[in-house]
Amino acid sequence: MRYLLRIRCWQYRQLTAIHRISRPTRPEKARRLGYRAKQGYIIYRVRVRRGGRKRHVVKGQTYGKPKN
C-alpha cells in the first residue's frame, strides 16, 4: 500500500490543481462519506497546500522580534 501511495502521489502532482475523476480512488471510504455510484455524483481531486495558516505580515517585513 505504501508503494502504491508513493506512485499515486507522484502521479497526482503531474495533474492540474483541480482534476475531475470518473470514480473514487477508495470506494469504501467514499461510501462512508456519502458517495453513491449513481448518476449525478461528480468527483474531483483537489490539491491542498501544506502547512498551517499563513502568517499576517506587516509591510512585507518578515523579520524582527515577536510581540508579547
Which 3 state secondary structure label does DSSP give 43? strand
pLDDT of residue 45: 93
pLDDT at residue 59 is higher than 90? no
Taken in order 24, 25, 27, 33, the sign of the CA dihedral is negative
CA atoms of 43 and 20, how far apart (whole Å): 6
pLDDT at residue 14, as a whole number: 94
Report residue 32 as a C-alpha cell: 462512508
Closest CA to 49 of 17, 2, 14, 4: 17
Instruction: Record the pTM.
Output: 0.59
Pairwise CA distance, residues 9 & 12, whole Å: 5
Q: Which comes out higher in pLDDT, residue 4 or 62?
A: 4
Q: What is the pLDDT of residues 7-50, one digit of tens each?
A: 989 999 999 999 999 999 889 999 999 999 999 999 999 998 87
Extents of the domains making up the chain: 2-46
**Residue 24: how many other CB atoms lie within 10 Å:** 16
| pLDDT higher than 80, residue 55 | no
